[in-house]
């Protein structure tokens, strides 16, 4: 039998490795920024074109490389960070496996200019698809300049999987935020298609957060500080009143490396328990310093997942630290048992002694005696003469008929909220009766039995089709606000709003200003109250960042789904009978009434035969 196992050529092996390291342009940005940080840079520039597909250029003022090191850095598993296997458990740098540059060079056109401070001339290197085109001496400043062009030029299938420029830019911006937040002592400059996105000077942790997420973020932050033998925790959490419906502004850093940890995230959520709603998420920027030997950061190619030796202890410390910060800065109410009692004493009585009250007792008082002795000074309570009480109502006969009684009085009933279908009472009275079950389901009868409808999902379907119609036909009605509504967003959120502004205008939003960090709104759709505008826009921005919005159709779909989900009636809201009937009618008038916009069942039917079988 012939041998069938063969060694892969180097260029094929590099392309396979690139599939693990380089998933999209944001992966290249992450690797190049981390290399610049490891080189000791104090200032880093990031230049992007066409969402990173055409160009990713990173310039730093680090230590640079010699000609030999520059050539060797593009070989697989060539690194200066580790020498032996034990070094993997004492890592204080970002990249250490020596795969990044080799993987990037295998699937792109790469140019490098690098120069150490002590050398006079720099090295210029060009590589295309793992093949070195030329290496020569040039003039350049101290540091390294890495230019990556035409990503996935030799793997068209991988390039076709890339999203639109806006989507890829958002992923790059996320990676940029993570690196910039972890290293506030380094100055960063971020440019996209020739325009400036971020200019971040060297700053403190708090200043760096404010520079990235907007000036109004400063009032949201509560400092967190705790140092134990296991971990040192620092950073900031957002006040409970600024919790959002979406998962945004949540960052964990371990030894200045961004990580994702659902376990630690749950510790923060449990500390906020009782302070925020169950469907809201707090923002946090938490920096954990632990012993490098107690964590394993080499369990995932992107190094965003970390395994801790003692997660349970870390969970308990983090939870108690966040709770302590919330109480220490008077974010949550607390009892003060050390208050000086003198502060509660009126000023006029501060230096006076307490006087003993005089109590006199009437020993001869007899409560059964009709008339007491006036000389004893005791008040008497005698039955008064009630004769002629009818005269109080003389003359009322002319205003109120003698036959009138209290049967016509109406008493206030329990306040019913959620009357979302006003003005339809008369036309619905003749339709089959409905009732609300546990403030969650609407039960109504049909010829074959009955239908149980989820009120929230049904309203989502109705609103979803209404919004789709308004956006496509462009016939939405807007209600003008008496005073313009001013909202604050980060630069990243503003970019998303500008992208979907046209779609928002077609459903009734009227914007007078969308720039810098401020949004001014002068009109909103009829179904959106002024108090809900901020919540709706936050949810929209989050959904657009998470969803793939390649074309106008997908933008319209995401927009309609988000608005329907945000504005639909919730489980627990009481609907009056007219609203229930209107919701049932509108649901079955929809083109697709069986499932919600998120493909979940809206109603179930129970036939008469199903009921009869229960009594057999």
Same domain? For 80 and 224 the reply is no
Report pLDDT for 429.
43
The arithmetic mean of pLDDT across residues 210-225, rounded, is 89
Same domain, 535 and 597: yes
Same domain (yes/no): 254, 295: yes
Domain CATH for 273? 3.30.230.10
User: Which pLDDT band, with edges at 50, 70 and 90, does 338 fall under?
Assistant: low
Q: What's the Cα-to-Cα distance from 204 to each of 30, 166, 211, 404, rounded to whole Å?
A: 22, 30, 10, 79
Same domain, residue pair 170 and 217: no
**Would residue 419 count as lying in a domain?**
no
- pLDDT value at 73 more than 80: yes
Instruction: With H, G, I as helix, E, B as strand and everything else as coil, classify residue 311.
Output: helix
- Is the per-residue pLDDT at 426 higher than 90? no
Q: Are 524 and 481 in contact (CB under 8 A)?
A: yes
The answer to whether residue 411 sits within a structural domain is no
Residues 40 and 129 both lie in one domain: yes
pLDDT above 70 (res 258) = yes
Domain co-membership, 114 together with 72? yes
Is position 216 within any domain?
yes
pLDDT at 339: 53
For the segment 393-403, the average pLDDT, to the nearest whole number, is 54
pLDDT in tens, 461-493: 999 998 888 777 766 678 888 888 888 888 888
- Co-location of 14 and 62 in the same domain: yes
CB 302 within 8 A of CB 318: no
Q: Are residues 451 and 597 in the same domain?
A: yes
Which residue is listed with tokens 């020739």?
194
Instruction: Report the phi/psi class of residue 532: left, alpha or beta, with left for phi > 0 and alpha for psi in -120 to 50.
Output: alpha
Maximum distance among all Cα pairs of the chain, rounded to whole angstroms: 132
The region, left, alpha or beta by phi > 0 then psi within -120 to 50, assigned to residue 76 is beta
Q: Is 387 within the bounds of a domain?
A: no
Do 60 and 163 sit in the same domain of this protein?
yes
Q: Is 244 or 416 the better-scoring residue by pLDDT? A: 244
49 assigned to some structural domain? yes
What is the 3 state secondary structure string of 497-562?
A: HHHHHHHHHHCCCEEEEEECCEEEEEEEECCCCHHHHHHHHHHHHHHHHHCCCCCHHHHHHHHHHH
Number of domains in the chain: 3
Integer CA distances (angstroms), 160 to 191, 417, 547, in order? 25, 50, 18
Q: Does residue 164 sit in the same domain as residue 290?
A: no
* Residue 536 neighbours by CB under 8 Å, 6+ apart: 528, 562, 563, 566, 567
User: Residue 430's pLDDT is what?
Assistant: 41
User: DSSP 3-state assignment of 222?
Assistant: strand
Share of the chain above pLDDT 70, in %: 78
End position of a domain, from candidates 177, 200, 223: 200
Note whether 160 and 222 are same-domain residues.
Answer: no
Mean per-residue pLDDT, 196-210? 92
Residues 192 and 216 occupy one common structural domain:
no
Q: Domain with 460 in it: what CATH number?
A: 3.30.1370.100
Is residue 610 domain-resident? no
Contacts 24+ apart (CB under 8 A), 425-428: 425/578, 428/578, 428/581, 428/582, 428/585
Give yes or no for a contact between 61 and 43, defined as CB atoms under 8 angstroms apart: yes
Strand order in the sheet with 603-607: 434-437, 441-446, 449-454, 603-607
CA distance 470 to 452: 29
pLDDT: which is higher, 539 or 400: 539
Provide the pLDDT confidence category of residue 496 given band limits of 50, 70 and 90: confident
Q: Once rounded to an integer, what is the mean pLDDT over residues 100-115?
A: 90
pLDDT tens for each residue of 427-445: 444 445 788 888 899 999 8
Domain of residue 309, residue span: 212-327
**Residue 496 burial by CB count (10 A; 0-12/13-18/19+): exposed, middle or buried?**
buried
Against a cut of 0.75, is the pTM above it? Answer: no
The three-class DSSP label of residue 104 is helix
Task: Report which of residues 249 and 184 the model is more confident about.
Answer: 184
Q: What is the pLDDT of residue 364?
A: 77
How much is the mean pLDDT over the chain? 81
Task: Please give the span between the terminal C-alpha atoms of the chain, in angstroms, as a whole number.
Answer: 70
pLDDT at 287: 95
Burial annotation 40-76 (CB, 10 A radius, 16+ → b, else e): ebebbbbbbbebbbebbbbbbbbbbbebeebbebbeb
Inside any domain, residue 45: yes
CATH code for the domain in which residue 141 is found: 3.30.565.10
Structure confidence by residue, pLDDT tens digits, 232-244: 999 999 998 888 8
DSSP string, 124-179: EEEEETTEEEEEEEE---SEEEEEEESTTTT-HHHHHT---HHHHHHHHHHHHHHH
pLDDT value, residue 160: 86
pLDDT band at 142 (very low <50, low <70, confident <90, very high): very high
**Strand 295-296, strand 284-289: pairing:** unpaired
């Amino acid at each position: 039998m012939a041998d069938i196992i063969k060694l892969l050529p180097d260029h094929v092996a590099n392309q396979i490795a690139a599939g693990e390291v380089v998933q999209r342009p944001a992966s290249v940005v992450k690797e190049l920024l981390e290399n610049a940080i490891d080189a000791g840079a104090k200032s880093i520039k990031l230049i992007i074109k066409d969402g990173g597909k055409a160009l990713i250029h990173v310039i730093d003022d680090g230590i640079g490389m010699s000609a030999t090191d520059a050539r060797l850095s593009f070989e697989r598993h060539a690194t200066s960070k580790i020498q032996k296997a034990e070094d993997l458990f004492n890592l204080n740098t970002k990249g250490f496996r020596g795969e990044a540059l080799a993987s990037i060079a295998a699937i792109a056109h790469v140019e490098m200019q690098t120069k150490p401070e002590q050398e006079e001339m720099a090295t210029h290197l060009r590589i295309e698809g793992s093949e070195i085109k030329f290496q020569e001496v040039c003039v350049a400043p101290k540091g390294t300049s890495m230019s990556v062009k035409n990503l996935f030029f030799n793997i068209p299938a991988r390039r076709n999987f890339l999203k639109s420029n806006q989507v890829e830019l958002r992923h790059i911006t996320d990676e940029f935020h993570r690196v910039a937040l972890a290293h506030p002592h380094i100055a960063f400059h971020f440019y996209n298609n020739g325009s400036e996105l971020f200019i971040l000077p060297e700053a403190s942790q708090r200043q760096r957060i404010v520079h990235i997420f907007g000036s109004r973020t400063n009032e949201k932050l509560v400092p967190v500080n705790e140092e134990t033998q296991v971990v040192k925790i620092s950073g900031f959490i957002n006040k409970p009143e600024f919790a959002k419906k979406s998962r945004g502004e949540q960052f964990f850093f371990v030894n200045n490396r961004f990580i994702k940890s659902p376990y630690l995230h749950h510790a923060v959520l449990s500390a906020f328990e009782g302070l925020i709603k169950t469907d809201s998420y707090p923002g946090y920027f938490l920096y954990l310093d632990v012993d490098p030997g107690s964590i394993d950061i080499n369990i995932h190619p992107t190094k965003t997942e970390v395994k801790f030796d003692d997660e349970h202890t870390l969970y308990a410390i983090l939870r108690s630290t966040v709770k302590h910060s919330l109480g220490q800065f008077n974010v949550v109410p607390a009892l003060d048992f050390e208050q000086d009692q003198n502060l509660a004493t009126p000023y006029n009585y501060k230096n006076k002694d307490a006087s003993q009250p005089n109590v006199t007792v009437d020993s001869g008082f007899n409560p059964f005696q009709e008339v007491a002795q006036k000389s004893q000074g005791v008040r008497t309570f005698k039955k008064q003469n009630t004769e002629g009480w009818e005269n109080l109502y003389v003359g009322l006969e002319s205003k109120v008929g003698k036959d009138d009684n209290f049967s016509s009085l109406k008493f206030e009933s329990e306040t019913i909220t959620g009357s979302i279908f006003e003005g339809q009472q008369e036309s619905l009275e003749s339709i089959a009766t409905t009732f609300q079950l546990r403030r969650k389901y609407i039960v109504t009868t049909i010829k074959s039995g009955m239908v149980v409808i989820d009120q929230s999902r049904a309203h989502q379907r109705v609103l979803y089709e209404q919004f789709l119609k308004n956006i496509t036909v462009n016939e939405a009605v807007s209600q003008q606000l008496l005073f313009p509504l001013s909202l604050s967003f980060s630069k990243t959120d503003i970019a998303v709003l500008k992208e979907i502004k046209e779609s928002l205008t077609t459903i009734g939003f009227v914007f007078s200003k969308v720039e810098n960090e401020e949004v001014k709104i002068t009109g909103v759709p009829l179904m959106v109250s002024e108090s809900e505008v901020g919540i709706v826009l936050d949810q929209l921005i989050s959904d657009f960042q998470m969803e793939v919005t390649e074309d106008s159709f997908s933008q319209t779909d995401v927009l309609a789904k988000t608005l329907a989900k945000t504005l639909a009636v919730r489980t627990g809201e009481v609907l009056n009978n007219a609203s229930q009937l209107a919701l049932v009618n509108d649901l079955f008038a929809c083109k697709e009434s069986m499932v919600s916009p998120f493909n979940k069942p809206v109603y179930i039917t129970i036939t008469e035969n199903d009921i009869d079988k229960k009594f057999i």
